[in-house]
A and B are shown apart, each in its own frame.
Chain A
Amino acid sequence: MAARTTSRSSRPVAGVAWDEVALAPVVLVHGAEHVLVERAVQRLRSLAREAQPELEVVEVEASTYQAGMLAVETSPSLFAEHRLVLVRGAEALTDALITDVLAYVGTPAADVWLVVEHRGGQRGKKLLDGLRQAGVPVAACEPIKKDSDKASFVSAEFRRGGRRVEAGAVRALVEALGTDLRELASACDQLMADTTGTVTEATVSTYYGGRVEATGFRVADAAVAGERAQAVALLRHALATGVDPVPIVAVLALKLRQLAKVAAMRGRGGVSASELGLAPWQVDRARKDLQRWTPEGLAAAITAVADADAEVKGQGRDPVFAVERAVLRICAASRG
């Protein structure tokens, strides 16, 4: 019990946000989103350079680290200049690094800032736990998942660049490039470099118009809603941005399966949503969609998707054609 309490109290709930991290004798930059890790390290570097213009930056590669290297880099230098020691890639570290860093944390050198960069994963957990336990500030760089968070990331990018941006433009950018944060960040950079004045929706559409990041789920939603043109357009976007036909078919099947299950639930009354393995919002959604569907239509749609599944897995010649036909057949079936 005692051990449990200590382990809990030693772990801060979450670190500082990556763009608010401040200099400290030792800083841990931790998270799976590479862009944010790079940003955080960049920020620490420029903060250090502001504080000490004569700064010397030393980079240490964690994967080839050998015992004692840290001591060499952090020992007092002849010209007494300040140093920023950056340990790169601690997610693939050697055991010697763990011992050396943890030993160093206890007695940090006065004129050295040590930054440890860890890009997520299980390896080096001992190092992470040890650093957290020592109360080292942690810059959290976890992947951004929600669209609203991506939008605030974009707004922050423009704010940092000292530029004004319209809400519509932010939305359009997230829609066009939202799946990859790095792409999103570089698009912001490009827009700031190439244009002047406020960035508007029109500007974004000049640069990134016609590009939509569609997932299988969006295709399935449109198809089940019977929106033929939109479904096909989204499907083409999805295929063009690198989604494979196989998962699209799987998502179409999933969607129809939910509809059928909810239809069965309605008929029987007794079966609950959790027994069918559906979340309440999925049931609500399916109920709404079901208004457009007849049992016969549902049967035809399921058959069409099953045909497509066999075709994308080698029984047809053209997987893309097979998916597109399935989507069209679902749209046709949904009209009853």
Chain B
Amino acid sequence: MTDVWEDVVGQEDAVARLRAAATDDAAMTHAWLVTGPPGSGRSVAAKAFAAALQCSGDPVADEVAVAEVRAGTHPDVTVVTTDKVTISIDEVRGLIGLAQRAPARGRWRVIVVEDADRMLERTSNVLLKAIEEPPPRTVWVLCAPSPQDVVVTIRSRCRQVGLRVPSVEAVAELLVRRDGLEPGLALESARAAQSHVGMARRLARDPEARARRRRILESAARIRGVGDAVLAADDLVETAKAEAAARSEERDAREKAELLRALGVEAGATVPPALRAQVKQLEEDQKRRATRQQRDSLDTAMLDLLSLYRDVLVVQLGASGDVALVNEGAEELVRSLAESSTPEQSLHRMDAIGEVRQRLAGNVAPLLALEAMMVALRPQV
């Protein structure tokens, strides 16, 4: 029998609790809140839990059920995720109806909400009723970075499972075992991604992603003055835009073609006025998705820069013997930056990066915010 928990790495305590709940009805409850830092495997854990709940003990049937949950085709498991900035209230209203239905095959109907933190308060309140008075065989599994990201009324109705940051070795081991990657590369990627499983996987598998990360780190070191800083910020925003566009262009076009076909509009023909609203709606959704992707990709770049200055600070404080560097591949860069600045400056720079991350979440103009950050990163006497 396949082990549903094998992909949940470095989370022994959480797995033990979830495993117990899946096998023993006395340890079960109707709503769970899985929390943990990004990349710790919240959604993987939630899906593994969903799969475990669909297992009945019969090895053959279980294997089919687990495969179905993994493929996202199991009738009793619904995974809600969003690639936009927030989950809309209409999507959640749809879930409320779904939650009232009895499971079709298994013992439980499981609804996994992957981005429970991406809900506005009024959207959460819609969800609240369903979580408060649940039908007997429905289980909600919400995922969020921290319990504080979910409104208190929902938090208090869920049992919490906290995940921690898995160790670099555990992540590397997973990459080697699951994706068949070379151990050295897996370890380096896991370290560079700071144990973020998805990111480590992307870095290890995609040479382009590694090159992009490297470019971002080097761009910080290349800034000589204010002019360079502004140009570097421009570069970074353009790269993020291009990346978001490259990722979504094909998909956007396909979605639009599908919609037009569903509406009965021939390719190339003008859309009748009565149907334009639907096309516009789709385009707006796609635009929101692009915003989110651009923000995510900028945030990743910020995290990379933050890790660079963290390493610089480690070297400056003479702790490099005790603490491993995140960016071992870029050690020269780290050392040269460490020599040319003071620990105070490194801290100021990390503050500046942290501030920009916070501001970007607040819908500021990304280019301006990054310019200010790059200006703070320039060499100062």
Contact = CB atoms under 8 A, between A and B. Distances in A.
Given A299-B375, A302-B375, A313 B226 contact: no
A303 B369 CA distance: 8
Given A313-B364, A315-B362, A306 B230 contact: no
B227 interface: yes
Contact of B364 (A257, A298, A302, A310): A310
Nearest to A295: B226
Given A250-B365, A309-B368, A313-B363, A299 B378 contact: yes
A10 B278 CA distance: 38
A302 B365 contact: no
Interface string B190-233: 00000000000000000000000000000000001111111100
Given A313-B364, A314-B362, A263 B375 contact: no
Contacts of B225: 263-264, 267, 295
A303 B364 contact: no
Q: Which of B359, B362, B365 has the most CB of A within 10 A?
A: B365
A322 B12 CA distance: 50
Given A299-B375, A299-B378, A314-B362, A306 B369 contact: yes
A interface residue count range (under 10 / 10 to 19 / 20 to 34 / 35 or more):
20 to 34
Contacts of B359: 306, 309-310, 315
A309 B369 contact: yes
Nearest to A257: B230
B372 interface: yes
Contacts of B226: 260, 263-264, 295, 298-299, 302
A313 B361 CA distance: 11
A305 interface: yes
Interface string A12-50: 000000000000000000000000000000000000000
Contact of A264 (B231, B365, B369, B372): B231
A218 B375 CA distance: 25
A288 B369 CA distance: 26
Contacts of B371: 253, 257, 260, 302, 306
Contacts of B364: 306, 309-310, 313
A11 interface: no
A265 interface: yes
Contacts of B362: 310, 313-315
A298 B224 CA distance: 14
B376 interface: yes
Contacts of A262: 227
B110 to A, nearest CB: 37
A211 interface: no
A303 B376 contact: yes
Interface string A307-324: 101100111000000000
Nearest to A303: B372
B108 to A, nearest CB: 42
B368 A264 contact: no
A208 B296 CA distance: 51
A261 B231 contact: yes
A251 to B, nearest CB: 11
Q: Which of B362, B365, B368 has the most CB of A within 10 A?
A: B368
Interface in B232-257: none
Interface string A257-275: 1001111111100000000
B231 to A, nearest CB: 5
A264 B375 contact: no
A266 B227 CA distance: 9
A264 B228 contact: yes
Nearest to B363: A313
Nearest to A277: B234
A113 B185 CA distance: 83
Contacts of A305: 368, 372
A208 to B, nearest CB: 35
Contacts of A310: 359, 362, 364, 369
A267 B229 CA distance: 13
Contact of A263 (B227, B363, B376, B378): B227
Contacts of B363: 313-314
A263 B225 CA distance: 9
Nearest to A264: B227
Nearest to B230: A260
A262 B375 CA distance: 16
Contacts of A298: 226
Q: Which of B226, B230, B376, B378 has the most CB of A within 10 A?
A: B226
A302 B230 contact: yes
A263 B363 CA distance: 29
B375 A267 contact: no
B234 to A, nearest CB: 8
Contact of B229 (A250, A260, A309): A260
Contacts of A313: 362-364
A254 B228 CA distance: 16
Contacts of A263: 225-227
Given A310-B362, A313-B362, A265 B368 contact: no
Nearest to B375: A299
A261 B369 contact: no
A190 to B, nearest CB: 41
A260 to B, nearest CB: 4
Contact of A260 (B224, B227, B376): B227
A266 B364 CA distance: 30
B219 to A, nearest CB: 14
Interface string A276-308: 100000000000000000010011001101110
A267 B230 CA distance: 13
A302 B367 CA distance: 11
A49 B225 CA distance: 71
Nearest to B356: A306
Given A295-B226, A306-B371, 12 more contacts: A260-B227, A261-B230, A263-B226, A266-B227, A299-B226, A299-B378, A302-B368, A302-B371, A306-B364, A310-B359, A310-B364, A314-B362
Interface of B: 224-231, 359, 362-365, 367-369, 371-372, 375-376, 378
13 contacts: A253-B367, A262-B227, A263-B227, A264-B227, A264-B228, A267-B224, A302-B368, A303-B372, A309-B365, A310-B362, A310-B369, A313-B364, A315-B362
Sorted nearest first, the 9 A-B pairs with minimum C-beta distance are A264-B227, A306-B372, A260-B230, A263-B227, A253-B368, A299-B375, A295-B226, A298-B226, A310-B359
